[in-house]
Amino acid sequence: MANLGFVGLGVMGGQLVKRLLSKGHTVTGYNRTRSKAQWLIDKGMKWADSPRAVAAAADVTFAMVTNSAAITSVTEGPDGILAGLSKGKIFVDISTVSPSVSRALAAKVREKGADMVDSPVSGSVITLQEGKLSVMVGGRRETFERVKPLLLDIGPKVTYVGDNGLALAMKIAVNLSLAVQMMAFSEGVLLAEKSGIARETAVDVLTHSAVASPMIQYRGPFVLQQPEEAWFDVNMMQKDMLLAMELGRQLDVPLPTTAVSNEFLTAARGMGMAKLDFAVVFDVLARMSGISK
């Protein structure tokens, strides 16, 4: 049982805290909007009034926020995580942010006598609830070994990939494929539908075929009905696609299918769908195909 902190209690962050609490850990949490964290407080999570207070109270502090600007916001300043860190403490950032931003942050953490790993996860709310989440870790190996038991409480697959920032590079490599797969799936459904096959039938066949990755199996049905709350909305996915294309530019790796898929996310935003799950790229392609949902 460990003394943990958690900053960022959104859809995934909240579910991660619920899981850590169920494993018997003490968790002190902070979220910008306290009301969204009340259900976790009711389950036994301790509340802190700032990210600094979370880090001061915990031996290991986790953060899961939306982007590079958000991680800077919760770590810097008099009320930030950095101000609450001290010698021997560990900061585990689960956010998907720029690898270079993460490396710079890790250097600041070490100036405090603490250490940091980037530890993004692959999966969805359903994957987490089923206990199938996979975790990637970048940082010093000795720090990885210290936090590995905690990460195994989050998901059964925990992989050390190398130095700080490399887990983020790996996560970006994973996420670009999610959007590309969703585009290909949408093309297949629409081709079948315009041939005269019911959309429900096409979705059923494709999600039970050789192309059915775990992501397609749980997200494919979203082309029939969007979830009440987006698991991973258009804005979040596009953030990751832009990180991928920037990394590709830096490393001279062409990413043609990533670039095309990103344009459909831009189209979805232009159509007012930014807050819907990124599976809504199907609707963009459907309209281009002359089909109204």
Q: How far apart are CA 155 and CA 133, in angstroms?
A: 5
What burial class does residue 61 get, using C-beta atoms within 10 Å of its C-beta: 0-12 exposed, 13-18 middle, 19+ buried? buried
Name residue, tokens 């991680």.
71
* Catalytic (active site) residue 157: no
Query: Do the bridges between strand 60-63 and strand 121-122 make them parallel or antiparallel, or are there none, so unpaired?
Result: unpaired
DSSP 216: H
- CB 233 within 8 Å of CB 179: no
Q: Residues with Cβ < 8 Å from 75, sequence gap 6 or more? A: 51, 63, 81, 82, 105, 108
Given 18, 171, 194, 239, the catalytic residue: 171
Measure Cα distances from 5 to 16, 84, 223, 245 in Å.
12, 11, 37, 33
Q: How far apart are CA 5 and CA 61, in angstroms?
A: 4
Q: How far apart are CA 197 and CA 77, in angstroms?
A: 57
Q: How far apart are CA 71 and CA 103, in angstroms?
A: 12
Active site residues: 171
